[in-house]
Structure 1
Amino acid sequence: MTVLLAPTRPLVRAAVVLLSCTVSVPLALTAAPAAAAPTGPAVYRVAPGASVQAALDAAVPGDVVELAAGRYPGSVTLATDGVTLRGQGAATVLVPDPADRSACARAGNGVCVTGSSDDQGVPVRTLSGVAVESLTVAGFPRNGIGAAVTDRLTVRRVAVHDNGMQGISVEMSTRTVLTDNEARDNGQAGIFVANWYDRKGGALETRGTEVSENRLSGNRIGLQLRRVRGLTVEANLAYGNCGGVFVVGDDGVPRAGALTVRDNVVRANNRYCPPIPRLDSVQGTGILLTGTEDVTVSGNQVSDHSGTSPMSGGVVLYPSVVGAPNARATVTGNALRDNLPTDLADRDPHGTGNAFTGNACRTSEPTGLC
């Protein structure tokens, strides 16, 4: 299929840019109302059967690529600052295409949001101001949405399910907003925020990343924060995973932490996930801190967990895989009930300065933390 774009962008830009196809499919884009703001952003309206990537490649900062309801086989890459990819909610679905040989598809991802880095993982070009909104990304071998080296990325009202690894993966990125998404039945985390997935090193300062009001179920871990600092996790619902919320660090400097986990509902994360390299089996864990510093866990409702993993329990402090302890964790004002083997657990023998105050609970390890 050939998609024809206008050869130039006029000074007074149309609000919607027309694409046409040489085969019999619905028009990729439809005509705009005549009155458009001078030099204002364009809206590319794409229908099933037309090329989403062609519209993304044509877009400039401020433009919107809007997908009609329907199925869109293949992976797409956003690589231009300030571009928004928007669907029609659950009715717009991106699925794999076995014939797709794009770099994003070869990596196993559905939507790639890509800056660039050198061979050592040092950012070279940061992609800024991209948004992905109101669509579904399902069934990809690796990540539903894979983002790296971005600033001010927004992902909202997106459903990611049945992807092989992470539902939404955000690496080496700052000031990210992940809100009102549904991540379910993904092979690893529903939402994953990290410095790098495949590298160690000190924690990334995220400069105020926000993970809020997401629904996370049926994943190995609902939300995993790994080797990151300076963010807020607020008002999420995590249930039916093997583990609810994991904050993971190690002995790298700066340490993971300086973040807040507050006002979340974390319940019945009781699936069994067998051990993998560098991580024991996971079952029945609500909120886990391992190898962190200066983390505040407050105002959360944590209930109905049960498991026999070393990490099982409501809110658990545990040493990292390399033995790094937790330091100065504050666990305060949480409501915990019916968590087995215990509501609160400090299983970190070398932890320092950790405090448990004002929590409503019945059982703790050691006793006296409630």
Structure 2
Amino acid sequence: MTRRQIALVACAVAAVTTGLGAAPPTTPEASAASRNVHRVKPGESIQKAVDAAKPGDSIVLAPGTYRESVTITTSDLTLRGSTVFPTVIVPGKAATGACAEAGHGICVTGTAQRPVEDVTVRSLTLRNFTRNGLWASRTDRLTVRGVTAEKNGNWGIAQERSVRSVLTGNTARDNGDAGLFVSNTTDTEEGAVDAKGTLISHNRLSGNRIGLTVRRLRNVTVDRNEATGNCAAVFVVGDESTPRAGAMSLRRNHIHDNNKYCPKTPRLPFLQGSGIVLTGAEETLVAENRIEDNRGTSPLSGGIVLFKSFVGALNERNEIRDNVVLRNGTADLANRDTGKGNTFRGNTCEVSEPAGMC
């Protein structure tokens, strides 16, 4: 064998050896195959399946009623029920853990150092919890879709310290406070935080004290929701902290007949007949909404209301345009604030405070 032939054979052997030692390429099919589905039936533990799951896994619940609370602290999990028949989670006497002790149905919780990422909760009913149906804290890209949160003592679906969330296609009804609640924090006084594009869309909110509360946040989109039968439909809440709440948009929502009566609290007067209320917000766009038949005599009653916050913070540089606002009492458009730079244009309405904005 010539030197050239020997060299060619050596190269071939090296190539084969290298190929044998290399890891096979990862394909989408291989990645999907490595994801497990954990199936749970009524009478079995959802929490046990969640604890056994790894990132990428799904926990699929059969139709029926489950009596427990569930905590999710692992990223990239999906918890879903049936899209055909009801999958209901209610409190259980034997439920244990911090989530159950706090009175919540589902808790999705991370830490400051490691937020929980890419969790999806969908196609479930969360009912009769003493605090919140779903509670999320320190999450990134949480998706809550097709969830019904009803008759919970405080909030239906709520989150704090979370970014890039998608809350869509949910029903929140007959909850003690807000049907949907999104906030910077709930246990400290801080300025507004950037929610980094949180989207709240295509939800139906009814029979709550407030349909939706957005508190001390920036960079949020509220789009194509329906709110009816609440005491107040939508609150955007800011205060004197820095940065200010705002820099968000509320567009193409249908808000009508929010005429339930709610008594006053230490922070708010009685509520009845409020459509969209801005308190202490800035640079917020309220556009292309249809707001009808919200009637009351509260200081916060009216179709679209600007009202200084109860710590004295003013609304500034908000744009109210191209809305249809009709048959609301005591006014369709009400600027009960002394903040600067708020503009009203292109709205269809009949009565405004002060006069001349219709």
Query: What's the TM-score once normalised by structure 1's chain length?
Result: 0.87
Post-superposition Cα deviations, 1:149-175, rounded to whole Å, max 9, x if no partner, equal 000000000000000000000111000
- Match of residue 77, structure 1, among 54, 71, 78: 71
CA contact (8 A) 2:224 2:254 kept: yes
What amino acid does structure 1 have at the position aligned with 2:99? C
Q: CA deviation at 1:260?
A: 0.1
What amino acid does structure 2 have at the position aligned with 1:254? P
Q: 1:40 to 1:353 in 2, by over 3 A?
A: same
CA contact (8 A) 2:214 2:235 kept: yes
* Equivalence for 1:336: 325
2:287 aligned with 1:314, yes or no? no
* Equivalence for 2:110: 115
* Equivalence for 1:369: 357
- Match of residue 302, structure 1, among 272, 283, 291: 291
Using the alignment, how far apart are the partners of 1:139 and 1:38 within structure 2? 36
- Match of residue 168, structure 1, among 147, 157, 173: 157
* Equivalence for 1:87: 81
Identity %: 53
2:93 aligned with 1:104, yes or no? no
* Equivalence for 2:343: 355
2:87 aligned with 1:132, yes or no? no
What SS does structure 2 have at the residue aligned with 1:124?
coil
Q: 1:36 to 1:93 in 2, by over 3 A?
A: farther
Q: CA deviation at 1:99?
A: 2.2
Q: CA deviation at 1:124?
A: 3.0
* Equivalence for 2:142: 153
Q: CA deviation at 1:38?
A: 7.2
Q: Higher Cα Rg: structure 1 or 2?
A: 2
What SS does structure 1 have at the residue aligned with 2:316?
coil
For structure 2, the residue ranges without an aligned partner over 5 or more in a row are 1-28
What SS does structure 1 have at the residue aligned with 2:167?
strand
What amino acid does structure 2 have at the position aligned with 1:366? P
Using the alignment, how far apart are the partners of 1:164 and 1:36 within structure 2? 45
What amino acid does structure 2 have at the position aligned with 1:95? V
CA contact (8 A) 2:229 2:257 kept: yes
What amino acid does structure 1 have at the position aligned with 2:48? A
Higher helix share: 2
Q: 1:181 to 1:353 in 2, by over 3 A?
A: same
Post-superposition Cα deviations, 1:211-268, rounded to whole Å, max 9, x if no partner, equal 0000000000000000000010000000000000110000011100000000000001
Q: CA deviation at 1:125?
A: 2.2
Q: CA deviation at 1:197?
A: 2.0
Using the alignment, how far apart are the partners of 1:307 and 1:199 within structure 2? 33
Using the alignment, how far apart are the partners of 1:134 and 1:39 within structure 2? 24
What amino acid does structure 2 have at the position aligned with 1:261? L
- Match of residue 213, structure 1, among 184, 202, 212: 202
What amino acid does structure 2 have at the position aligned with 1:92? T
What amino acid does structure 2 have at the position aligned with 1:362? E
Q: CA deviation at 1:101?
A: 2.2
Query: What's the TM-score once normalised by structure 2's chain length?
Result: 0.90
What SS does structure 1 have at the residue aligned with 2:248?
strand
Post-superposition Cα deviations, 1:314-334, rounded to whole Å, max 9, x if no partner, equal 000000010000000100000
What SS does structure 2 have at the residue aligned with 1:279?
coil
* Equivalence for 1:327: 316
What SS does structure 1 have at the residue aligned with 2:311?
coil
Using the alignment, how far apart are the partners of 2:185 and 2:271 within structure 1? 22
What SS does structure 2 have at the residue aligned with 1:53?
helix
Post-superposition Cα deviations, 1:335-365, rounded to whole Å, max 9, x if no partner, equal 011001110000012x110000000001100
Using the alignment, how far apart are the partners of 2:40 and 2:214 within structure 1? 35
Using the alignment, how far apart are the partners of 2:132 and 2:210 within structure 1? 14
Aligned residue pair count: 329
What amino acid does structure 1 have at the position aligned with 2:93? P
Using the alignment, how far apart are the partners of 2:105 and 2:331 within structure 1? 39
CA contact (8 A) 2:69 2:96 kept: no
Q: After alignment, is 272-281 or 222-231 more displaced?
A: 272-281
Q: CA deviation at 1:276?
A: 1.2
* Equivalence for 1:269: 258
Q: CA deviation at 1:92?
A: 0.3
- Match of residue 188, structure 1, among 165, 173, 177: 177
Q: CA deviation at 1:37?
A: 6.7
Q: 1:344 to 1:37 in 2, by over 3 A?
A: closer
Post-superposition Cα deviations, 1:71-115, rounded to whole Å, max 9, x if no partner, equal 000100111000000001451000001221211000110000001
Q: CA deviation at 1:39?
A: 5.0
Q: 1:37 to 1:130 in 2, by over 3 A?
A: closer
* Equivalence for 1:57: 51
